[in-house]
Structure 1
């Protein structure tokens, strides 16, 4: 649980997470879609393993059986309910007792009775099915005959004189039922594999708990809902990489995505112009939510409407805007400007926008992040950064700053002290509610005006969607290549494991 205040001073106290059966069913559905191959593999492996285990260890057993009726010495059947119930409970015990086995062994001239006895009584009748199993068919049959012959001697001490009459028998057994036993092993193995698969699916569902709807966000996050961006599926090709990227500069981008960005721009600019803001920070809770792609496309969309826009890559541990903009030439980064290694003019790059879709007064400039450098990120919250932002305000209508995830690092909250407003990016079925709450709370405590959140990669209504396509741009390879295992969440860049609540080698705080 956590609480935070917006600029109006209102306080939000988060309620405990509730179990949503709809989300659980969605998790099960997605889990089956993602893990179906594991289910099939487990069933096949367990079935085959069970087959080999049984077929190699199975010892042939011949079963001789007979159905008999039990009568008293006077010829009276045990047919009334009380007598039948007594027989069903007592007779099987007598037939499998050690006393009977000793008598049978003595009758057969052996030290011990060969094989084993199994007895089943038909409820409510005086009928018994006696089975004797053994390795030798002849011996199994002889043992059965001896059991039926000698049973009355043993039962006499318990029930008085009784008589067993054979109604049906198998004779000398010839079938060991090997195929039947092995066939049953397949089923048992397959069932075992299915159970293991269900356990894995249960663990998957319990570990997910990701946000899957804007309705869920509205219930749990005290931020304005600024809309959603659909999921766009793009094909990964070795050639024409840029034309498969999710960028407004890509002529092949879907109309649904263009329309979603347009609506988001209108809502944001309405607040920005009303409150006379010039700087907008864009962040998310964790890596991989698409904040960089959204920052770039929002900047392009605003510039096309006639505004002078500056896009700044402030995620200096993992600068990604160059990849989104398909900029393959090296440029001085923000860190070099803050360390005064290069003049500001050399770090600002003009981005050519399509004239037919851009207002003549509009322009887009970018300050890239340069090479990944954790030491440069230490300057994000410095006075130099504040002075740089103030200097740039006089040249641009709006400045958009793409920052590191706020739930993981303190970069965004520190920068938030110098920025007017923030846009929070939340990716569909990717981020846990706890992570969102912590990230929003961390950023809100800086005093920045939280304009709201955008639900990115929304696939809940079957739209074209957006999400996986942004992972590759130009020659930059997969998103987060400079983060190492930053995704969930491992090592951050080349600075090794960084636990929450600790500091890195530069004194940066990892958010609790």
Structure 2
């Protein structure tokens, strides 16, 4: 068995700082945008959740904090009793003067006291103001309050009280009523629940974008071939394109053929007959890759045996769409059955599978006995190549325990999924356990 210590020479500082930054320190906006898009598609439910929460919260706040404002108004034409009465320019000047003076009068304590006395209240139940129509002698007085009746009462009180205060300043004036609102029929500020909901949904969507942006900026992962080779320093076998699990495209089959051709050269060059397939964490597609390597090499004329040694979460038979039955790797490892008794032959191929049948929470007692090494040696005599699917190496010790039982390994990394720290730690663990890598594969299929 060819065993050599593989030493990772990648600079850890480069690993930690080089994910989405170019050599001059600028952020690679293309990679950032692609990562945000993939994260957004993956967490689309969070967008709906935040938008819904935002819409509901804003609608509730609008209704909860809504205070209606009603406006009652009266429009007057101003004229004077002086000798200049009837002079349009004079009356316009008088109206303009009132427009300047009136705001001060309206806010004066004297008028407020008189209005409160008139209405029988301690404080003025609203606000009042006046304005002059430009280049005319028309003046409009407005009263605003929280209820329609109160707004009209306030207007009437102001109209009754202001002459006593205004005349000493402007002289005796004639104010002819031109228009009056009466009691207002509806508030000025009708709540717009639909607009509030849209604004809330927009706010929730913006929060989602910020979360995705922060996640993309903070995520340290593998985004392309260059990242993978820089981080792992392992021979690159190729990448599998995006495809559906149950429908292999022509591009996928071509990529599998190319990977198997490169792997075949490595196997011959390094004299490997047993191959371990693993990844950093769960969900990176190691089982899918192991099955496709087995199928691809079988088509090239190899007699291949695929062993599901992932005793924690066996998935080979599900991936291959085979009936695993009730007996498999666990029964062989515990001495209940022989490997020959539990082999499953894939239809229309020479590929044999030893399925995983039980999900175990702990595998130390089974893998630590040395029985697995004996079984792999026995299987090596029965096939040209034995492929062993194992649990993820970055978070579990199973793969490292099996490293000394095989000739080499293939490390699978899913694009934009593997965490850099766990990835490098998993490779380090395998290297220290004596693993010689036949290569690494970049899996671009989307995580489900």
| Corresponding residue number in structure 2 for 1:316 | 311
Q: 2:393 aligns with which of 390, 393, 406?
A: 406
What's the CA shift for 1:315? Answer: 0.2
What's the CA shift for 1:174? Answer: 4.6
Corresponding pairs, count: 410
| Corresponding residue number in structure 1 for 2:33 | 25
Q: 1:116 aligns with which of 118, 126, 137?
A: 126
> Is there any run of 5+ residues in structure 1 with no aligned partner, and where?
235-244, 247-252, 355-362, 459-465, 469-512
| Corresponding residue number in structure 1 for 2:296 | 301
The equivalences for 1:445-484 within 5 A come to 445-458=432-445, 468=448
What is the CA deviation profile of residues 327-362 of structure 1, one whole-angstrom value per residue up to 9, with x for unaligned ones?
A: 2152532232222222332233333435xxxxxxxx
| Corresponding residue number in structure 2 for 1:327 | 322
CA distance in 1 between counterparts of 2:77 and 2:5 reads 86
| Corresponding residue number in structure 2 for 1:345 | 340
| Corresponding residue number in structure 1 for 2:366 | 379
What's the CA shift for 1:12? Answer: 3.9
What is the CA deviation profile of residues 142-196 of structure 1, one whole-angstrom value per residue up to 9, with x for unaligned ones?
A: 244357546659xx9xxxx5789989986234545437522x4432342123213
CA distance in 2 between counterparts of 1:454 and 1:121 reads 77
Distance 1:173 1:319, change over 3 A: same
Q: Secondary structure at the match of 2:190?
A: helix
Distance 1:39 1:144, change over 3 A: farther
| Corresponding residue number in structure 2 for 1:10 | 9
Distance 1:321 1:133, change over 3 A: same
What's the CA shift for 1:47? Answer: 6.5
The equivalences for 1:53-452 within 5 A come to 53=64, 59=68, 61-64=70-73, 95-96=106-107, 98=109, 100-106=111-117, 108=118, 110-112=120-122, 114-117=124-127, 119=129, 131-134=142-145, 135-136=148-149, 137-145=151-159, 149=163, 171-178=180-187, 180-182=189-191, 184-207=192-215, 209=219, 211-218=222-229, 220-233=231-244, 245=246, 253-330=248-325, 332-354=327-349, 363-376=350-363, 378-452=365-439
Distance 1:346 1:375, change over 3 A: farther
| Corresponding residue number in structure 2 for 1:496 | none
Residue pair 1:228, 1:457 contacting (<8 A) in 2 also: yes
What's the CA shift for 1:453? Answer: 2.7
> Is there any run of 5+ residues in structure 2 with no aligned partner, and where?
21-26, 79-89
TM, length-normalised to structure 1: 0.66
CA distance in 1 between counterparts of 2:424 and 2:164 reads 79
Residue pair 1:117, 1:132 contacting (<8 A) in 2 also: yes
Q: Secondary structure at the match of 1:317?
A: coil
Distance 1:345 1:138, change over 3 A: closer
CA distance in 2 between counterparts of 1:432 and 1:168 reads 78
The answer to which structure has the higher helix fraction is 2
What's the CA shift for 1:403? Answer: 0.4
Residue pair 2:394, 2:426 contacting (<8 A) in 1 also: yes
Structure possessing the higher relative contact order (Cα contacts under 8 Å, 6 or more residues apart): 2
What's the CA shift for 1:313? Answer: 0.6
CA distance in 1 between counterparts of 2:444 and 2:176 reads 74
Q: Secondary structure at the match of 2:409?
A: strand
TM, length-normalised to structure 2: 0.74
Residue pair 1:268, 1:451 contacting (<8 A) in 2 also: yes
CA distance in 2 between counterparts of 1:274 and 1:111 reads 100
What is the CA deviation profile of residues 237-273 of structure 1, one whole-angstrom value per residue up to 9, with x for unaligned ones?
A: xxxxxxxx35xxxxxx321221111111112122121
What's the CA shift for 1:226? Answer: 2.6
Distance 1:415 1:51, change over 3 A: same
Distance 1:28 1:340, change over 3 A: closer
CA distance in 2 between counterparts of 1:403 and 1:39 reads 38
Deviates more, 1:301-310 or 1:143-152: 143-152
